[in-house]
Amino acid sequence: MAYKITDECISCGSCAATCPVGAISQGEDHFHIDEDMCVECGSCQAVCPVEAIEAP
């Protein structure tokens, strides 16, 4: 199961810049993680300033 970005996301882009496989992109309301691409490394969760990313 992939990491998930919640509605708490402020669209700062830190997670997308950190993702080693490019699985994170800007969505309609906030950033989104492509579940098929996510390698569950946790890099995105570690840099999120508002703790909007949930572990699998």
DSSP 18-51: H-TT--EEE-SSSEEE-TTT-----HHHHH-TT-
- End-to-end C-alpha distance for the chain, whole angstroms: 5
Collapsing DSSP to helix, strand or coil, 53 comes out as strand
Mean pLDDT taken over the chain = 97
* Full-model pTM: 0.92
Q: Residue 26 and residue 24: Cα distance in Å, rounded?
A: 7
- For 37-56, the pLDDT digits (tens) are 999 999 999 999 999 999 99
Residue 9 has pLDDT above 90, yes or no: yes
